[in-house]
Amino acid sequence: MALEWTVLIVDDEGPIRSSLSDFLEDDGFITIQAESAEEGLSIVKNNPEINAAVVDIRLPGEDGNAFILQAHAIRPDMKFIIYTGSTDYSLPASVRKAGVDPAQVLHKPLQDIATLTTAIRRALGETD
């Protein structure tokens, strides 16, 4: 039986959040949405069931890197997938130390959305 994972989607673009949420829920995930790093951090603090977050880098206020570092400080067991439209994004050393590796950086738009679920499941320790 597959595990039931809860994923937080942090993206300031409503249509992207909604479509990611719909896709992940169709694939068996439970999702929660946030439109900013600040809202996402509040959700992380109040929802210990969250296992992973899909995070955009360019957000209003604090960026996705700041969100990851702060969320990791609150929940060291949480996993992160970066989903960015920035083609020149470079993974900072501080974010690597929070457990994000280059395989967990995905660029918008994905040619195959299943790449996202594969990245999430791998980050959470599921094997193919």
Write down the domain spans for the chain: 6-123
Q: Mean pLDDT for the chain?
A: 94
Q: Is the distance from CB of 27 to CB of 21 less than 8 angstroms?
A: no
Q: Which residues are within 8 A (CB) of 39 and not within 5 positions of it... i.e. 6 or more apart?
A: 10
What is the predicted pLDDT for the residue at 2?
Answer: 54
The predicted-structure confidence for 101-125, as pLDDT tens digits, reads as follows 999 999 999 989 999 999 999 999 9
Q: What CATH number has the domain spanning 6-123?
A: 3.40.50.2300
Residue 109 preceded by cis peptide, ω within 30:
yes
pLDDT digits (tens, 9 = 90+) for 34-72: 999 999 999 999 999 999 999 999 999 999 999 999 999
Angle ∠(58,102,127) on CA atoms, nearest 5: 115
Residue 128 pLDDT:
58
